[in-house]
Amino acid sequence: QKEVEQDPGPLSVPEGAIVSLNCTYSNSAFQYFMWYRQYSRKGPELLMYTYSSGNKEDGRFTAQVDKSSKYISLFIRDSQPSDSATYLCAMDRGSNYQLIWGAGTKLIIKP
């Protein structure tokens, strides 16, 4: 079993919808949780990161961590076609060098 599980999609939604992307994990030692966005033919770029449990909001994006359920989510409000990309979750015990990555979910926002 992988340490981090992420549905590969693709997830296709109409423009303006609320999108929910999720990852589950098995290692309770993870403390830092990140979401990266990757456009086609580009490297991943950091969207948001959170430490431990709770919510974090940045514009249309909200990251949520539930350590008791070992479950993290990324919500995108008022989704736009420019949000179409692959979203990868990543997590770490605090070392900042051995990130464990989800496989990524491909998101398609239809105009």
Partner 1 sequence: DADVTQTPRNRITKTGKRIMLECSQTKGHDRMYWYRQDPGLGLRLIYYSFDVKDINKGEISDGYSVSRQAQAKFSLSLESAIPNQTALYFCATSDPTGDYGYTFGSGTRLTIV
Binding residues for partner 1, rule: CB under 8 A, are 4, 6, 8, 32, 34, 36, 41-46, 49, 88, 90, 92, 96-99, 101-104
| Paired tokens of 23 | 């990852």
Unique residue bearing structure tokens 């109409």? 14
Identity of the residue, 6 or 84, whose beta carbon is nearer to partner 1 in the bound complex: 6
Q: Which residue's CB is nearer to partner 1, number 75 or number 101?
A: 101
> In angstroms, what is the minimal distance from the CB of 12 to partner 1?
18
Amino acid present at 17: A
CB of 97 to partner 1, least distance (A): 6
Q: Among residues 91, 94, 92, 104, which one has the least CA distance to residue 21? A: 104
Contact 49, 35 (CB under 8 A): yes
Q: In the complex, what is the shortest distance from the CB of residue 51 to partner 1, in angstroms, rounded to a whole number?
A: 9
Between 32 and 75, whose beta carbon lies closer to partner 1?
32
What's the CA gap between 70 and 33, in Å, rounded?
11
Pick the closer one to partner 1 by CB: 79 or 86.
86
Q: Measured between alpha carbons, how far is 96 from 76 in angstroms, rounded to an integer? A: 26
